[in-house]
Homo-oligomer: A and B are copies of this chain.
Amino acid sequence: MLNFEFYNPTKIVFGDDTIARLSDLVPADARVLVLFGGSSARKNGTLNEVTEALGSRTVHQFGGIEPNPSYETLMEAVTLVRNENLDFLLAVGGGSVIDGTKFVAAAVNFAGDPWEILLNHGTNVAGALPFGTVLTLPATGSEMNCGSVITRRETQAKLAFLSHHVFPQFSILDPTKTYTLPPRQIANGVVDAFVHIVEQYLTYPVGGRVQDRFAEGLLQTLIEVGPLALETPQDADARANLMWTATLALNGLIGAGVPQDWATHMIGHELTALHGIDHARTLAIVLPSLLNVQREQKRAKLLQYASRVWQLNEGDENERIDAAIRRTVQFFESLGIKTRLSDYDLGPDTIDKVVDQLIAHGMTALGEQKSITPEVSRTILEGAL
């Protein structure tokens, strides 16, 4: 096992009818900005419940945070917080709203141009406004970690930052709030969480027995509950397990003490930035080909994945690895997520552009062994045509 640090002070309040808990989770004298995305938070009644729970506190609202939240939009929220002297943020939504709220929290009192936060990946964040979240979409894990990904529309740059100052103080996870989500978002959430786990699991063995078993347990749970969540939106068991699994997939626990990959995410980010493909779908395109191309470096863990997650124990090593990758693809496709560039009307000409962007963003030595050069990224993308 590798040496590690693990720290995660976010309080999780999980279960039905927990939004009312905001009345004691948010300081009584807080001046609150509620941040949300589209109109669904308003339509499904969550925003009303939140407002009611906040009672007589001063509350402003900021809607319109888009998927892949943009610096340009979020800076409007920063201005609002500054102008109205607000001192507590509450994100109501999924990963994009929460990531955006983290940026706003760090930017409000940042000395200088807040874009510098992204350029320095958060190392220059010295503090942040306190904030909580009401999660409505299980997917990214942002509700229980200190990471955020922000896009600058102007330059198509999609960059991440990390800072201990932007852990949510609390996150309310009410699985019943996910019942009305469109199937597309549920499917995206399942794939997003699945690939988060794989990025921390499918590398090379370091004797992290606990981490491996936790990762395998989360993957098996997604394989079970993903289809159930799509077939029966009000399956309370499936929705609760999906929500908690997606949170645990990226709260730092399963990645502590083991190598991590993240190349699928880095390549996928460029596909989203260039072509606007949903984040989860870019992962579903890149991952299978990456596992195939990287099979030598990942051989031992791919065989473990085949056996423990998919119960594939027949055939020689390469057959088992092929079968595990095939099962992964079938799982994504069974959720309605297409896994080929051609499914998104993209052909060979897109590959040059993606590789150029990877180089432009310094993504020239990706993966757990820094062995995914731009040429390897090209091979991975060619395998995904």
Which A1-44 residues have a C-beta within 8 angstroms of B? 1-16, 18
Residue of B nearest to A7 (CB): B11
A241–B210 CB distance below 8 A: yes
Partner of A14, one of B6, B225, B240: B6
Given the known A-B contacts A15-B3, A237-B1, are A220 and B224 also in contact in the complex, defined by CB atoms under 8 Å? no
A234 to B214, CA, bound (A): 25
A241–B14 CB distance below 8 A: no
B257–A244 CB distance below 8 A: yes
Q: A153 at the A/B interface (Cβ < 8 Å)?
A: no
A207 to B209, CA, bound (A): 24
A5–B11 CB distance below 8 A: yes
A248–B210 CB distance below 8 A: yes
B8–A14 CB distance below 8 A: no
List B contacts of A6 (CB < 8 A): 11-12, 14
A231 to B136, CA, bound (A): 50
Given the known A-B contacts A4-B15, A15-B3, are A218 and B210 also in contact in the complex, defined by CB atoms under 8 Å? yes
A14–B9 CB distance below 8 A: no
**Chain B nearest Cβ from A365, distance in angstroms:** 25
Given the known A-B contacts A216-B217, A257-B14, are A245 and B210 also in contact in the complex, defined by CB atoms under 8 Å? yes
Residue of B nearest to A239 (CB): B1
A245 to B253, CA, bound (A): 12
Q: A256 at the A/B interface (Cβ < 8 Å)?
A: yes
A220 to B207, CA, bound (A): 14
Residue of B nearest to A18 (CB): B3
Q: A221 at the A/B interface (Cβ < 8 Å)?
A: yes
Q: A275 at the A/B interface (Cβ < 8 Å)?
A: no
A13–B8 CB distance below 8 A: no
List B contacts of A1 (CB < 8 A): 14-15, 237, 240-241, 244
**Chain B nearest Cβ from A175, distance in angstroms:** 8
A217–B213 CB distance below 8 A: yes
**Chain B nearest Cβ from A174, distance in angstroms:** 9
A21 to B257, CA, bound (A): 17
B244–A210 CB distance below 8 A: yes
A123 to B301, CA, bound (A): 47
Given the known A-B contacts A217-B214, A257-B244, are A237 and B207 also in contact in the complex, defined by CB atoms under 8 Å? yes
List B contacts of A241 (CB < 8 A): 1, 207-210
Residue of B nearest to A257 (CB): B14
A positions within 8 Å CB-CB of B:
1-16, 18, 207-210, 213-214, 216-218, 220-221, 224-225, 237, 240-241, 244-245, 248, 253, 256-257
By Cβ-Cβ distance, the 9 closest A-B pairs, closest first, are: A3-B15, A213-B217, A9-B9, A7-B11, A207-B237, A6-B12, A1-B240, A209-B241, A209-B221
5 contacts between A and B (CB under 8 A): A4-B12, A7-B11, A213-B214, A213-B218, A244-B257
Known A207-B237, A240-B257; further 20 A-B contacts with Cβ < 8 A: A1-B15, A1-B240, A1-B241, A2-B15, A3-B14, A3-B15, A4-B14, A5-B11, A5-B12, A6-B12, A14-B256, A14-B257, A207-B241, A208-B241, A209-B225, A210-B217, A210-B221, A213-B214, A213-B216, A213-B218
